[in-house]
Structure 1
Amino acid sequence: MQIIAKVFEFEISEQELERECAKVSLAEREKCLEGALKRLIDRCLLLYKAMESGIKISDTEYENAIWELLDEEDPLKLWSTSLEQLTPQEMEKLLKQRLMINKYINSIFPQNIPITNAKIKEFYDEQKEYFLKPEQVRCSHILIRNDNEEAKAKAEQIRREIHNADDFTYFCQKYSDCPSNNVCGDLGWFPRGKMIPEIEEVAFSLKVGEISQPFLSPYGYHILMKTGQSEKEYIPFEDIKDSLYARLQQIEKEYKLLRHLAELRKQYASHIV
C-alpha cells in the first residue's frame, strides 16, 4: 500500500485517494485527485484536533449513527462502488472517525449562530431572482392514443360533443386513454419547459376555462381544457424567512470551518508531509 501523504500519525494511502474519485470521469480525474488529497488532509487535521480534545464515540452513538444511515439511505448504497472494497472493520473505523470529526466541529461552533432579520432580508434582496416563481398553468386533457385517422376522427367527434367543463369531465372519464382519467385528466400545475412542447404551446395560448381543438403529440390526440393560470411572482419574504435563516446559518458554519481549517494547515504545516 503506497503512502502519498502523512498528517501526524495518520497516513493517507493511494487507495484512499482513488476511492474519493472512483466515480469521476477521466477528464475530471486530475482535478478530483488534487481536491481529494486536500480534503483527506483536512479530515486528518480535524481528526487530530478531535482526539486532542478527548472526544470519543460511544457504542450507543455509533449504533444510532448506523440506524440513521439505514433510515436515510438505501442500504445497498452504503456499500457503493467507492466503499465496496472496505472490510466491515474498516467501515466501522471510517464512520467512527467521521462521527468524531462532526462532534468536534459541533463543539467549537455554536449550534445556533445569530442571524439578524436585516441580514436575512439583505440576502433575500440580493438573491431575489432565485425566488421568482415562473408563470404557470393548470390543465386537464383527454388523450386518444394513436396517430391514425381513426384516432383523429374519434377525438374530433368527442370535441364536437363537449360544450362545457362538465361535458369535458364526462368524456374524459369515459374515453381518455391516459391514467389521469381517474382525476378528470388533471395534469397539475406546470411552467414553461416542463411539459412536452405540443401541450405547452396549446396550454399557454388558451384562456382559463377554454377548451382546445384536438391536436397531435407523440402520445396521440389531445383535447386540452385550461383550468388555471398564475402569473410569475416573487415568493414573499415572510414565506421563506425561516428557510433562509437556516441556510445562512449553514453558510456561516461553513465559512467558519474553512477559516478554522486554514488556521490548522498553517499551524501544523510541519506535520503535513
Structure 2
Amino acid sequence: MKSGWMRGIIILLVFVLGLSIGYFLPDRKEKMDVPVASVGDEIITELMWLNQLKEDYGEQVLQDMIDRKVVFSEANRLGITVSDKEIEQEIQKMRKAYENDEQFLNSLKEQSGTTLEQLKEDMRYYLTWEKLATKDVVVSDPEIEEYYNNNLYLFQEPEKVHAWQIVVSTEEEAKQVIRELEEGTDFSTLAKERSMDLLTANQGGDLGFISLNDSYFDPSFLEVAFSLKEGEISSPIPVEKGFVILKVTEKVKERIIPLDEVKDTIRKEIALSQVPSLPQVLDQLRKQAKAQILINDNGK
C-alpha cells in the first residue's frame, strides 16, 4: 500500500470539506477569510490555507478521485467486490511488522497521517484494482503447488516467543518487581504501574511475538527471551534505559507455513505476474471510462 494514497485521503477530506463548502455557499467564502495561524504580525487565513492546498495537491487529489471512481465503477459493472475479511487479512499481514496494535496504529498516524478506517478504504481500493487487473487470469492448482515447492524459503516462519516486559531504572527496583511478581502480583498490572516504556506499559508490557533474528532487540535481550520457559520470569536484564524483567507466555516453533494457508496469496502473485503493471491497467481503465481532468494548471 502506497503512503501517497493515504495522504491523498487526508488531503481529500480537507479539500472536500473546505473548498466545496466555500465555492457552493455564497457567504461561506467571506467566513473562510478568518485567521487560522499567525507569524508575528502576519496572518494566514483559512482561505489562504485551502488555496495553498489546492495549488500544492489539488491535481493529485483530483486524479485520485478520478481513479477511485474509475476502479469502483468498473468493478461494480462486473460484479467484482472485496470483502471485509479480505481487507482484514491484508491488514494483519501489515501488523506483523510491529510489536503490538498500538505501535501499528501510531506508525500509521506518524508516517502517513492516516487512521485504521482510512487504511481499510485504501486497502479496498487497492484490492479491487488488483482484482480488475487479474479478472481474466486462470491459475491452476498445479501451478500454485509448483510455485510453493520452488519457493519454500518464502514461507518459512522462524521460532517465536510471546514476550512481556517491565522496564525500570535501577537493578534494585527490578529485584523489587520480581519479588512482587513471586508473591502473586499480576505482571500486566505491575507493567502499567511501574514500567518506564510507555508504549508497552499501556499494553500491560506486551511486546507481542518476537523472533530470534529480530533486529529491533539487542542480541543479549533475545537470548534471554528464548531461554525462558512458558510462564517463566527472567532475572533483571541490563539495557540502555535501565533494567528489564521479561516474561514469556507462549513459544512457537519454527515452521513452514502450510500450502493451504498461503494458497490464495500465491494464486494472486502468479496472476499479477501475468498481466500488465497495475499503473498500466489503471491507465487502460481511465481510457475506457473516458476519464479526464477538465481544468488547466490555473484551475479554470
Q: TM-score, normalised by structure 2?
A: 0.47
Q: Aligned-pair distance for 1:69?
A: 5.6
Q: What is the Cα deviation at residue 110 of structure 1? A: 7.2
Change (3 A) 1:73 1:250: farther
Q: Does 1:228 align with 2:250?
A: yes
2:156 counterpart (129, 132, 138): 132
1:195 aligns with 2:216: yes
The one-letter amino acid paired with 1:211 is I
Partner of 1:178: 197
Secondary structure in 1 matching 2:164: strand
Q: How many residues align?
A: 176
* Contact map agreement 2:11 2:57 (CA 8 A) in 1: no
What residue is the counterpart of 1:157 in the other structure? 176
Deviation track 1:116-139 (CA, whole Å, cap 9, x = no partner) reads: 111111111111110111111111
CA 1:164/1:196 → structure 2, altered by over 3 Å: closer, same or farther? farther
Residues 70 and 174 (structure 1 numbering): CA distance in 2 closer, same or farther, change over 3 Å?
closer
Which protein shows a greater Rg?
1
One-letter amino acid of the counterpart of residue 270, structure 2? L
**Residue 195 of structure 1: CA displacement?**
3.5
Shift of the alpha carbon at 1:154? 1.4
Letter in 1 for 2:165: H
1:233 Cα deviation after fit:
0.8
1:95-110 equivalent positions in 2, closer than 5 A: none
Which SS does the other structure have where 1:161 is aligned? helix
SS at match of 2:202: helix
Corresponding residue for 1:142?
166
| Matched residue, 1:51 | none
**1:11 aligned residue:** none
Q: Quote the Cα distance in structure 1 between the aligned partners of 2:264 and 2:152.
A: 16
Change (3 A) 1:212 1:119: same
Matches of 1:178 and 1:85, distance apart in 2: 39
Q: How does 1:1-273 map to 2 (within 5 A)?
A: 75=11, 111-144=135-168, 146=169, 151-163=170-182, 166-179=185-198, 180-191=200-211, 192-197=213-218, 198-254=220-276
Alpha carbons of structure 1 residues 134 and 69: separation in structure 2 relative to 1, 3 Å: closer
Q: Is the alpha carbon distance of 1:73 and 1:122 closer, same or farther for their aligned partners in structure 2, counting shifts above 3 Å?
A: farther
**Preserved contact between residue 134 and residue 271 of structure 2 (Cα < 8 Å):** no
| Percent identity over paired residues | 26
- Cα RMSD over matched residues? 4.4
Give the number of the structure with larger relative contact order, counting CA–CA contacts within 8 Å between residues 6 or more apart: 1
C-alpha contact 2:162 2:249 (8 A) present in aligned 1: yes
Counterparts of 1:178 and 1:153, CA distance in 2: 18
Residue identity matched to 1:195: Y
Question: Can you give the 5+ residue segments of structure 1 that lack an aligned partner in the other structure?
Answer: 1-67, 77-83, 256-273
For the residues of structure 1 that align with 2:57 and 2:179, how far apart are their CA atoms? 67
Assess if the C-alpha contact under 8 Å between 1:112 and 1:249 holds in 2. no
Structure 2 residue identity aligned to 1:218: E
